[in-house]
Structure 1
Amino acid sequence: MSVVRMPEVISFTEDKLKKISSSFGITVPPKDIDAYRILLSGLEEAAKVIEDEDDYLPPVDFDRFPRHDIHVPTPNEYNAWAHKVTIKSTSEEDGRGLLSGKTMAIKDNVNIATVPSLLGTDVIEAGSFVPRYDATVVTRVLEAGASIIGKGACENFSMSPTSFTNAYGFVQNPFAEGYNAGGSSSGCAALVAAGIVDMAVGGDQGGSIRVPASYCGLVGLKPTYGLVPYTGIASLASTVDHTGPITKTVLDNALFLQAIAGPDGYDYRQIGLPAQLPKYFDELTEFKKAPADAAKNFRIGLILEAFDMPGLDLRVIEKVKEAAKAFESLNVGITVREVSIPMHAKAPAIWTVATRQGFSEHGLRGQNPINFGVHDPEIPAALTHWNQEMFDKLALENPAATNSLLGGQYIRDSYPGLTSKALNLARKLKDSYNSVFEEYDILITPCAPTPANYTSTLEDDIMTKMSKAIGTTINTAPFNISGHPAMSLPITMMSPKEDESLKLPVGMQLIAKSFDELSVLKAAFAWEQSFDWKLF
């Protein structure tokens, strides 16, 4: 590594050098101390140049997209709001856009300039992170004519498939108070399910769009990795970051995706995008009169291993298979067959090892110094140095996150190189699915393994809290690490085992080859328009 110039002043002290070297478990030989002081003084001078320079962030057109009435609502509907705000384009052209007339919630890890991001946690002081620019998806929904009316609460650091970890209140399932709305896009799902907003921007690293959609009876799409720009969204691990639409209907999902998909020139995740993307909504509307024809002659495969994962409710297995087989009753040439993909059984382990170090270092310590794009310096500044108080708060509210913090460090220290090997195996996993897509148009698995469960409490021990989450993403996380598009489609209502008098939604997961969201939408539309999921 080159040193570009010698320092004007030797500012780097011997004490600083000893502190840094001891963090590596090494000692700099006394004869070399002065040399390193000189060299690192040059680095310190460069750092001061950067500190003094104005940051370079995407501009915000506050005249076109003014913000009004930023506040935390009291009382808070289903504890689903992080902040309320009113934003609507003043442009007449935007007002005629794809999303004209639609109301929108934005997940609270997504930047809206001037609106605080809480990230579901009190490890960072509330109100200390106020984004200075809009995420690309925020700009795009406003350009398409939508009205943003607030930020939906997310789980603590977006690291939980349950809705009981937000530091400011447990998000409630609109179908049953005290029940899980899913995570981590919990507030967004609750707001859409309750009819408070028409649609919402969610985020998904392991199932955080699809699990809330499954629990709340919604259509939740995790697009292909990179299809929708992740710019301006707090990252957990850049290998699995996805953002996408949560809606009540498949047609709305296609409309939303059409408005937000495509490159933005910032996001380094957007490698390999097709030169031309489909007009998802436009193509789907052609089948309004004969929706079953949207999936005409589709070849659908049920992944055998997905129905044999530990923790699946036998009733969910039965209903998902029944819903999948119902495609054949549409009499448009659809075939449904079982298909074995042995690597799918190993996919949860691949996802776990491939992401844990990233979650720990990137998501929880904000360390992402190696990728171009747009960055939020406030997050790494707040999270670089953890202390006991921060750990204890997080452990009380979300032990899944502290487990990731510790686990990432353990993988780094005890299994050097294993994360790299897991990422290599993620390509093998992707290729395993791709080989099956040579014969099938759509693959199907259960989404969440059970209906929503009942809440835990802050007083519960770690294992009681974790028992609500363990296994929830066993069939969703594989498609984060493979990158394929995957959707949760509501297919039935089912009683939770604790209360036979209740009925809660259950979702089926549909997957297609990379950048073939259109096939997912077509299959989902054909099913949705042909069957009443609440009565199925």
Structure 2
Amino acid sequence: MSVARLPEKISVTEEQLQTTAGLFNVTVPERDVEAYRVLLSGLEEAAKTIELEEDYLPPLDLTRFPRENIHKPNSNEYNAWAYKATIKSTLTADAGGLLAGKTVAIKDNICVGKVPSLLGTDVIPEASFVPEYDATVVTRALTAGATILGKAACENFSMSPTSFTNAYAFVQNPYAAGYNAGGSSSGCAALVAGGVVDMAIGGDQGGSIRVPASYCGLVGLKPTFGLVPYTGIASLAAIVDHAGPMTKTVLDNALLLTVLAGVDEYDDRQIGLPVPLPSYVDELRKFDSDPKQAAKGFRIGLIVESFDMPGLDARVIAKVKQAAKAFETLGVGITVEEISVPMHAKAPAIWTIATRQGFSEHGLRGQNPVRFGVHDAALNIALSKWNQEKFDKLALRNPAGTNALIGGQIIKDKYPGLTDKALNLARKLKDEYNAVLAKYDVLITPCAPSPANYTSKLEDDIMTKMSKAIGATINTMPFNISGNPAMSLPIAMMSPQEDPSLKLPVGMQIVGKSFGEVDIFKAAYAWEQSFDWKSF
């Protein structure tokens, strides 16, 4: 590596040099101290040059997309809003777009210019991160004629499949107050299911779209890795970051994905993205007169290992199998068979090891990998220093976050190279799914392992809080690490174990080959239009 130039003055002290070297368990020999002081002072001069430059972020068009009435609401439907604002295009041409007349909520880890991003946490000061630009998905929704009504509350650092880790309020399930709405796209799910907005854009690293969709009776799609640009969205680990649509119907889901998907000049994650993409909504509208024909001749595989994962409610297993077998009653030549993907049982361990170091260093400490794209320096500065106060705040609200913070360092220190091995095994996992998908159109698994559970209390101990999250993503996280598209489709209502008088939604997960969203939509549309999920 070359050195750009020598410094005009020496700014690095011997003490600073040796203290920094000590972090690597080394001491710089005395004979070399002055040479390193000179060389590293050159580095500091380069740093000061960059500090003085104005940041270079995507432009924010406040004339075309003005922001009105930005505020933190006092009265809050289902505790599901982080910030409210009204944003829509002023251009007549945009008013005729695919999302004309649709209202949209944006998950609070997605940048909306001039609107604070709380990220569900009080670890950093409230409203300390106010983005200066719109995420690509926000611009695309506005250009398509949507009206954005605000930022939907998300879980603390987007690191929980439950809805009681947000530092400002516990998001409520619209079907039963006090019950879990799922996470981490909890506010999105509650606002759509409660009829406050038509649709929402959520985020998913391990099931954060699909689990709340399952708990709240929505259609929630985690698209193929890279299909929907992640530019302008707070990252946990780039290898599993996804954003996608949450809606009440399959057709609306296809509509929103049609708007969001496609090449983005800023996003370096879009490996193998096909061009041009289909219009997902037009593909479904071909079957308006007879929706079951959308899945004519489909071969559907039930992953047997997914029904044998620990912690699954036996009633969920039975209902998902019943819903899957119901495809064969549509009379359009659909076959449903049990198939085996042996690595599916190991996928949660692969996801855990492949992501934990990234969650710790990247998502929680702002140590961004050197990647092309748009970087949010203000957020990463806010996360760069941890102390006891921050740790205690996160542990109180979301011990899954503090567990990840420490766990990532343990993996880094005690198991060097294991993250790399897990990432290699993730490719093997993807190959196993795709080998089966070469013979089947879609695969089916349970989504969340049970109906929503009752929320915990702030004063509960760590294990009590964690117990309601353990296993919630056991069948969803595999497809984050493989990158395959996966959807939660509502298929039934079921009583939670603790209250037989209640009925809460249950979802079935439909999985497709990479960039095979059309087949997922076809299967889901045929089922949705043929059965009443609330009485199935």
- What range is the shorter-chain TM-score in? over 0.9
For residue 292 of structure 1, what is the aligned residue in structure 2? Answer: 292
Q: How does 1:243-254 map to 2 (within 5 A)?
A: 243-254=243-254
1:158 aligned onto 2:158: yes
- Mark the runs of 5 or more structure 2 residues left unpaired by the alignment: none
Q: How far apart, in 2, do the equivalents of 1:336 and 1:369 lie? A: 43
SS in 1 for 2:498: coil
Per-residue deviation, 1:15: 2.1
Query: Deviation per CA, 1:205-239, whole angstroms, max 9, x where unpaired?
Result: 00000000000000000000000000000000000
Give the letter aligned to residue 32 of structure 1: D
For residue 271 of structure 1, what is the aligned residue in structure 2? Answer: 271
For residue 321 of structure 2, what is the aligned residue in structure 1? Answer: 321
Q: How far apart, in 1, do the equivalents of 2:506 and 2:166 lie? A: 23
For residue 225 of structure 2, what is the aligned residue in structure 1? Answer: 225
For residue 350 of structure 1, what is the aligned residue in structure 2? Answer: 350
For residue 441 of structure 2, what is the aligned residue in structure 1? Answer: 441
Work out the percentage of aligned pairs sharing the same amino acid: 75
Give the alignment's Cα RMSD to 1 decimal: 0.6
Q: How far apart, in 2, do the equivalents of 1:31 and 1:384 lie? A: 33
SS in 1 for 2:48: helix
For residue 47 of structure 2, what is the aligned residue in structure 1? Answer: 47
Give the letter aligned to residue 216 of structure 2: C
1:77 aligned onto 2:44: no
1:402 aligned onto 2:406: no
Per-residue deviation, 1:133: 0.6
1:202 aligned onto 2:205: no
Give the letter aligned to residue 30 of structure 1: E
Give the letter aligned to residue 157 of structure 1: F
Per-residue deviation, 1:18: 2.2
Q: How far apart, in 2, do the equivalents of 1:33 and 1:284 lie? A: 68
Q: How far apart, in 2, do the equivalents of 1:77 and 1:16 lie? A: 52
Runs of 4+ in 1 over 3 A off after TM superposition: none
For residue 391 of structure 1, what is the aligned residue in structure 2? Answer: 391
Q: How does 1:444-523 map to 2 (within 5 A)?
A: 444-523=444-523
Per-residue deviation, 1:466: 0.2
Q: How far apart, in 1, do the equivalents of 2:417 and 2:369 lie? A: 19
For residue 525 of structure 2, what is the aligned residue in structure 1? Answer: 525
Q: How far apart, in 1, do the equivalents of 2:485 and 2:504 lie? A: 25
Q: How far apart, in 2, do the equivalents of 1:439 and 1:428 lie? A: 18
Q: How far apart, in 2, do the equivalents of 1:156 and 1:149 lie? A: 21
Query: Deviation per CA, 1:280-313, whole angstroms, max 9, x where unpaired?
Result: 0011011011000000000000000000000000
SS in 2 for 1:93: helix
Q: How does 1:53-452 map to 2 (within 5 A)?
A: 53-452=53-452
How does the TM-score come out when normalised to structure 1?
1.00
Q: How far apart, in 2, do the equivalents of 1:507 and 1:325 lie? A: 15
Per-residue deviation, 1:483: 0.1
Q: How far apart, in 1, do the equivalents of 2:161 and 2:149 lie? A: 24
Contact 2:493 2:505 (C-alpha < 8 Å) held by counterparts: yes
Q: How far apart, in 2, do the equivalents of 1:491 and 1:336 lie? A: 17
Per-residue deviation, 1:383: 1.1
- Mark the runs of 5 or more structure 1 residues left unpaired by the alignment: none
Query: Deviation per CA, 1:123-147, whole angstroms, max 9, x where unpaired?
Result: 0100110001100000000000000
Segment drifting more, 17-26 vs 306-315: 17-26
Q: How far apart, in 1, do the equivalents of 2:458 and 2:475 lie? A: 28
Query: Deviation per CA, 1:316-363, whole angstroms, max 9, x where unpaired?
Result: 000000000000000000000000110000000000000000000000
Per-residue deviation, 1:462: 0.3
Per-residue deviation, 1:8: 1.0
Q: How far apart, in 2, do the equivalents of 1:297 and 1:179 lie? A: 40
Q: How far apart, in 2, do the equivalents of 1:19 and 1:399 lie? A: 32
Query: Deviation per CA, 1:232-276, whole angstroms, max 9, x where unpaired?
Result: 000000000000000000000000000010011111111110021
Per-residue deviation, 1:26: 1.8
Contact 2:12 2:40 (C-alpha < 8 Å) held by counterparts: yes
SS in 1 for 2:287: coil
Contact 2:362 2:369 (C-alpha < 8 Å) held by counterparts: no
Segment drifting more, 459-468 vs 362-371: 362-371
Give the letter aligned to residue 158 of structure 1: S
Q: How far apart, in 1, do the equivalents of 2:391 and 2:27 lie? A: 29
Q: How far apart, in 1, do the equivalents of 2:275 and 2:197 lie? A: 33
Per-residue deviation, 1:368: 1.1
Segment drifting more, 378-387 vs 82-91: 378-387
Q: How far apart, in 2, do the equivalents of 1:359 and 1:513 lie? A: 26
Query: Deviation per CA, 1:433-491, whole angstroms, max 9, x where unpaired?
Result: 01001110000000000000001011000000000000000000000000000000000
